[in-house]
Amino acid sequence: MFRHFFAKEDKLFNPIQRKYGEQTDIFFPLYTQSGNDTFYEASSIATGDIYISIDGVTDSVKNSNNAASKYSNIMIGIYKLTLDASEMTGQSIQIRIEDTDAAKVYKDTFIGIETYGHDNARHRMDMDFPTMALNFTSTAATTTTTLQCSSLDTSADDRYIDRAIIFKGGNLDNRVAFIEDYTASTTTLTITQVHSTVASGQEFFIL
């Protein structure tokens, strides 16, 4: 389950998903040249053996900012690599771990990452959303394409993008809209147009 290979359109390759622009840890195995049944057991992998490309752009290929370290003495052959926030600013991140010594002792490994939770990510939806459905009440009268609620998360724009809203009660009872944008500073959602303006005190669910 730890080994992930990446190819954009090939369903045989399964990228892992991580949040855009945020530091993250990834875990992967390394195998010796003798075969996939023998794990490599060195304490660390130097940055010079780790190559990162953002969105497949050749000019962006560089060595990683951090070395990879052995995850634990129990999980033999499993390594942890920390990617800095600056290394997570693309739709897809490709990582190649390659033994650059003349006498290679471990096999090459490839890791693919797809990002989420940002306008520039592969997936705009924030998958860190805490639950599948949350109940809110609008706190201001708005338009047929906006909705304001002071109880919404103020930590980041775009947090609710691509999620659905179901209204409960009032003129919009049982109507469904989709979130197209979110401005955290004003706690305002931009939604697909509904047939009536959103009144203050309108109950709704975000799915």
3 pLDDT exceeds 70? Answer: no
The tens digit of pLDDT for each residue in 69-85 reads 988 777 778 999 999 99
Assign domain 16-116 one CATH number from 3.40.50, 2.60.40, 1.10.3420, 3.30.1380: 2.60.40
Strands (DSSP E) along 67-131, which ranges?
68-70, 78-83, 92-97, 109-116
Q: Does domain 134-206 have CATH number 2.40.10?
A: yes
Pick the most confident of 9-18, 70-79, 87-96, 120-129: 87-96
Mean pLDDT of the residues in the chain = 84
When pLDDT is cut at 50, 70 and 90, the band that residue 59 belongs to is low
Report the SS3 class of residue 170.
helix
The tens digit of pLDDT for each residue in 114-158 reads 998 887 888 877 777 655 567 889 999 999 999 999 988 888 888
Delimiting residues of CATH 2.40.10 domain(s) in the chain: 134-206
The tens digit of pLDDT for each residue in 156-171 reads 888 888 889 999 888 8
Separation CA 202–CA 174 (nearest Å): 12
